[in-house]
Amino acid sequence: MEIIWYHPSINPQSWIDGMRQRLPHVTVRHWQPGDNAPADYAIVRSPPTEMLAGRSLEAVFAMGAGVDEILGQLRAHPDMLSDDIPLFRLEDTGMALQMQEYANWCVLGWFRRFAEYRQLQEKAQWLPLDDREREHFTIGVLGAGVLGRSVLESLRQWGFPLRCWSRTPKTIDGVQAFHGREQLDAFLDGTQVVIDLLPTTPETTNLIDERLLSLLPRGAFFLNLARGAHVVEADLLAALNSGQLAGAALDVFQTEPLPTDHPLWSHPDVTITPHTAAMTLPAESMDYMAGAILALEQGQMPNGLVDRQRGY
């Protein structure tokens, strides 16, 4: 069995060695331009068209939870990967815990008003602020997949009202669930913190715009752990400047890296991280891929199969 591996920026050796350790009977090689030798599986991030085009592969594994990048490549080059070749993404592999950490840090900071106290500290002002009411500090998660559910479960311990919104109906203990476009407005009504964990699809691109933000209670908060493509950034800035939003924490952006002159950098109510909310953990990811390959070889379908029409 042959596996080809490609990532545009990281050293391949640790991945090649790691996959060989997990699958000793398999040959793993770093794909490079001109390599047209046969292969059974591919592990990729931003693969060149040449790497996959024309190959008869058993499966392709994306090195991340989001696959909008590779699906974008397929839209531009439909012959890059045959429709009958399954594409898999990472559903958790250690990313859920990282998302939980990030979301809990933001939610608790906003609830306890730590950012406001930081601004008062910079002015040397001793000014106790009114406590927020826990029962009115509703947390809403856009997206109820593996990561969305994980974040909701981690927030349950704090006693906040929890709700979620997804494309199709979901049932999650202790969570008020909304679904479909017809229920989006009801989801937003009264939601004090919106956490974006949606996949990127044509339906979610630019979803978070002036209209959506206007339906939140004044002084709400926004956390984006998903993709920058979901947000109309000019509308987000306007909501922050008007006070419709009291704050935002942003890990992803329309353009990455975020341009140095972008006004989000200097906004006093915005926290920025450089797309690091949940990093791909090599050991956990290789465990999943090795297990998935063994399952496929035995005629079983592992988790993480991407529906190319839905976009995730």
Residue numbers annotated as active site: 227, 275
Return the HEC string of 236-290. Answer: HHHHHHHCCEEEEEECCCCCCCCCCCCCCCCCCCEEECCCCCCCCCHHHHHHHHH
Q: Rg of the chain over CA atoms, in angstroms?
A: 21
Angstrom CA distances, 74 to 37, 81, 88, 309, stand at 22, 7, 14, 12
Helix (H) or strand (E) holding 30, with range, is strand 27-30
Q: Please, what is the Cα angle at 303 between 309 and 92, to 5 degrees?
A: 100
In angstroms, the CA 204 to CA 196 distance is: 10
In angstroms, the CA 275 to CA 65 distance is: 13
User: Which residues on adjacent β-strands are paired with residue 203?
Assistant: none
In angstroms, the CA 215 to CA 197 distance is: 19
Q: Please, what is the Cα angle at 227 between 224 and 229, to 5 degrees?
A: 115
